[in-house]
Amino acid sequence: MNKQTVRNLVELFKFDLEKFDQTHEFNRLPVIWINAQDCTGCSETFVRGMNFDIAHFIFDVISLTYMDILSYTRPNDLGKKNQGEYVLIVEGSLGPHFDYCFVGGKCVADEVKELAEHAKYIIAVGSCSCWGGIPAAKPNPTEAVDLQEILPDREIIRVPGCPPLPEAIYGTLLYLWLEGKTPPLTRKGTPTFFYDKTVHETCHRKHFFDQKLFAEHFDDPNGYCLLKLGCKGPTAFNGCETIKWNGGISSPIFSGNACLGCSEKNFWDKYKTPVVKKRKAEAK
């Protein structure tokens, strides 16, 4: 293990540095990552985090037993090793019908149920897995549901977003590895250290909101609050304005786009484009 590199990660997420420094031996955390009905955007955000090198995380913190987009083959004994010790990550919504989502002749929902039996922790990564996401949006032709409906008796750690911030995924796994227990969760089942505040509370444009200065169009040169243009920051719990994207360079609002509330349940049905027009009319 490159201990200094991992120490930098612990410090980045403001976890227990003293505990890390006093621990002389760590076992890598076994992880199985299964894709269901998704666009692989959450996998992409995981492998493209820019605050640190993915290689250090994979080789020093976790043992990526299997991941659909990175693994060369799917082992026949998947889930039989490290029973009771591995983390099961599910990306994408699930459905009861074999026709819509299957791998190797097996319905992915059935495979998730089997793997969940021996998983120590289960993480729903992305809004599709957390809430059903876009596959579950109306008219929901595949009858897609979220992971909790497939596993009603298991605790699910939710890391929502479309996609989530890579730091939210890394940070959750790092906490499990360092502390050996579920991180503190909000009432929605999301880690408090990433999802305890709304985008609005931490928005760099909030002082304009407080002054009731609102943008009337997206190319507003003043950088005013985007509430009239449909911004869902007041109801979206996410870290986009604190952690930002692409290594802390920017965020959707920083780039001039209204927050879509992609970390929230049913965001696609609630927050799609017609809402922008409606919010403009209400705010006048």
For 121-164, write each residue's pLDDT tens digit: 999 999 999 999 999 999 999 999 999 999 999 999 999 999 99
Query: Is the pLDDT reported for residue 219 higher than 90?
Result: no
User: Number of structural domains, the chain?
Assistant: 2
Mean pLDDT rounded to a whole number for the chain: 89
Q: Which of 146, 168, 143, 167 is nearest to 156 (CA)?
A: 146
Q: Which domain holds residue 45?
A: 3-195
Specify the CATH number for the domain of residue 235.
4.10.480.10
**Whether residue 209 sits in one domain with residue 179:** no
Q: Are strands 62-67 and 87-91 parallel, antiparallel or unpaired?
A: unpaired
Q: State the helix-helix crossing angle for 166-179 and 3-12, rounded to 10 degrees.
A: 110
CA angle 187, 172, 149 (to 5 degrees): 50
Distance CA 268, CA 136 (A): 9
Sign of CA dihedral 213, 217, 223, 226: positive
**Whether residue 240 sits in one domain with residue 211:** yes
**Whether residue 207 sits in one domain with residue 191:** no
**Whether residue 203 sits in one domain with residue 101:** no
For 68-113, write each residue's pLDDT tens digit: 888 887 777 788 888 999 999 999 999 877 678 887 788 899 999 9
Distance CA 247, CA 50 (A): 5
Q: Is 157 in a helix, a strand, or coil?
A: strand
**Whether residue 167 sits in one domain with residue 29:** yes
**Whether residue 205 sits in one domain with residue 113:** no
Which of 161, 195, 229 represents a domain boundary (last residue)? 195
Specify the CATH number for the domain of residue 84.
3.40.50.700
Which of 195, 222, 247 represents a domain boundary (last residue)? 195
Q: Which residues contact 65 (CB under 8 A, 6 or more apart)?
A: 30, 31, 32, 78, 81, 82, 86
Which of 160, 175, 195 represents a domain boundary (last residue)? 195
- The DSSP annotation for 1-56 comes to --HHHHHHHHHHTT--HHHHHH------EEEEEEE-BS-SHHHHHHHT-SSS-HHH
